[in-house]
Amino acid sequence: SREAGEALDETELAIEGALRPSSLDEFVGQPKVRGQLQLLLQAAHMQERPADHILLAGPPGLGKTTLAMIVAHESGRPLRLSSGPAIQHAGDLAALLSSLTPGEVLFIDEIHRMARSAEEMLYLAMEDFRIDIMVGKGAGATSIPLELAPFTLVGATTRSGLLPNPLRDRFGFTGHLEFYDDDDLERVIARSANVLGVRLPDDSLSEIARRSRGTPRIANRLLRRVRDYALVHGGGAAASIADVKAALELYDVDAIGLDRLDRAVLDALVRRFRGGPVGLSTLAVAVGEEAETVESVVEPYLVRIGFLGRTPRGRIAMPEAYRHLGIVHPDGVAL
């Protein structure tokens, strides 16, 4: 999934891989989803069959890919990784599905971005482990049925509302991932610091957690920037609270963890559109981003902390946002 601000290069991806927990026990937080997955995997194990199909929904960086890997790992089955944007034709999906080995776990990230024609093929595949391959065109077209090896589909989406109902209904279970609280983020960061060999006093740990937007991926990324800073400026000693603050200031992360794009959205909403309501696409154009990025990457956290409201008439700025930006609310309310 894409992230606001910074693109992940290959090294970053490799490091991210090294920081992934590989079992449900190591996976921090999300007790609800963890319990649900645990039961599902155990039942499948007892009956010696592939687990039911699983849909994971939630903003980027909360652990969907990690959970897919854990599903494969815990059930001792191989994992195949794909993504919605990579499946632009039914044929792409047919090739993928027909190459699966029995019991394989197929992960499709951003499943809401898959081609329509592939979606329909997927319904049948999920239900009956069978696809129909169309051969020829027009009146002479025939469909050839193809049996598939049974598999477990793990779909991930930042926006479960975008999935057509017939697709959503074919998942045995949908897990909704929530933003993490500071305690859970501290556990994620402590674990990662351990893996990376970074010494982190308690106050540094909680400061990074507080500025991670409830998101483990961001927590891990901030930790790496803090590590860099401590390495260069602190001579490799433990990362002090001063190192944390300086590093995060350098990377434009503010006191509550908002980054440059978060602030640009709030700023446009408050100043340019006078607090709204303003439509999503207008707001996205104003900050030079795609509407999908604003909607799935930026907005969920701003909504969660009570800065932004989504109304039928558009996006509105909440009083808390004015307070954070240090701007007087138009009603003149003393904030």
Helix axes 116-128, 90-98, angle to 10 degrees: 30
Could you tell me the smallest distance in angstroms from the CB atom of residue 273 to ligand ADP? 30
From the list 55, 111, 122, 188, which residue makes contact with ligand ADP (rule: CB under 6 A)? Answer: 188
Strand partners, 311: 314
- Does position 20 bind ligand ADP by CB under 6 A? yes
How many chain residues interact with ligand ADP (CB under 6 A)?
A: 21
Q: Which residues make Cβ contacts (< 8 Å) with residue 30, sequence separation at least 6?
A: 62, 63, 175, 177, 178, 180
Cis-peptide into 277, omega within 30 deg: yes
Minimum Å gap between C-beta 184 and ligand ADP is 7
Both tokens of 141, joined, read: 């077209």
Is 155 near ligand ADP (CB under 6 A)? no
- Residue 1 is a binding residue for ligand ADP (CB under 6 A): yes
Task: Give the amino acid at 43.
Answer: A
Handedness of CA 207, 210, 59, 73 (dihedral sign): positive
Residue 21 as a binder of ligand ADP (CB under 6 A): the answer is yes
Query: Which of 152, 158, 174, 293 does the annotation list as catalytic?
Result: 158
Active site residue 158: yes
Q: Provide the minimum distance between the beta carbon of 21 and ligand ADP in the complex, in angstroms, as a whole number.
A: 5
Give SS3 for 106.
Answer: strand
Identified catalytic residue from 34, 64, 77, 213: 64
Is 65 among the annotated ligand-binding positions? yes
CA distances from 325 to 198, 256, 279, 319, 329 (A): 33, 12, 21, 10, 10
Tell whether 11 is in a known binding site: no
Residue nearest to ligand ADP (CB): 63
Q: Which structure tokens are listed for 27?
A: 């996976």
For residue 46, what is the enclosing H or E element? Answer: helix 31-46
Catalytic residue among 217, 221, 225, 227: 217
Q: Contact between 220 and ligand ADP (CB under 6 A)? A: yes
Q: Does 24 bind ligand ADP (CB under 6 A)?
A: no
d(CA 42, CA 232): 47
Q: Does 221 bind ligand ADP (CB under 6 A)?
A: no
| H helix runs in 176-305, sequence order | 182-196, 202-210, 216-233, 241-250, 260-267, 280-287, 291-293, 299-304
Q: How far is the CB of 129 from ligand ADP (least distance, A)?
A: 26
Site for ligand ADP in 30-49 (CB under 6 A): 30
- Of 18 and 237, the one with the shorter C-beta distance to ligand ADP is 18
What is the rounded distance in angstroms from the CA atom of residue 175 to the CA atom of residue 114?
Answer: 20
Q: What's the angle, vertex CA 230, arms to CA 227 and CA 236, rounded to 5?
A: 100
Stretch touching ligand ADP by CB under 6 A, among 26-34, 205-213, 230-238, 284-292: 26-34
109 tagged catalytic = yes
| Known catalytic membership, residue 64 | yes
Asked if 157 touches ligand ADP (CB under 6 A), the answer is no
331 assigned to active site: no
Q: Describe the crossing of helices 216-233 and 10-18 by its angle, rounded to 10 degrees.
A: 110
Stretch that binds ligand ADP, among 22-30, 206-214, 245-253, 278-286 (CB under 6 A): 22-30
Q: Considering only residues 50-79, where is the footprint of ligand ADP by CB under 6 A?
A: 60-66
For ligand ADP, the closer CB: 196 or 231: 196
Rg (CA), the chain: 22
171 is in an annotated binding site: no
Could you say whether residue 214 binds ligand ADP (CB under 6 A)? no
Selection from 53, 167, 64 nearest residue 116 by Cα: 167
Q: Which positions are catalytic?
A: 64-65, 109, 158, 217
Extract the annotated binding site. 19-20, 61, 64-66, 127-129, 170, 180, 217, 310, 315
Q: Which residues bind ligand ADP (CB under 6 A)?
A: 1, 16, 19-21, 27-30, 60-66, 156, 188, 216-217, 220
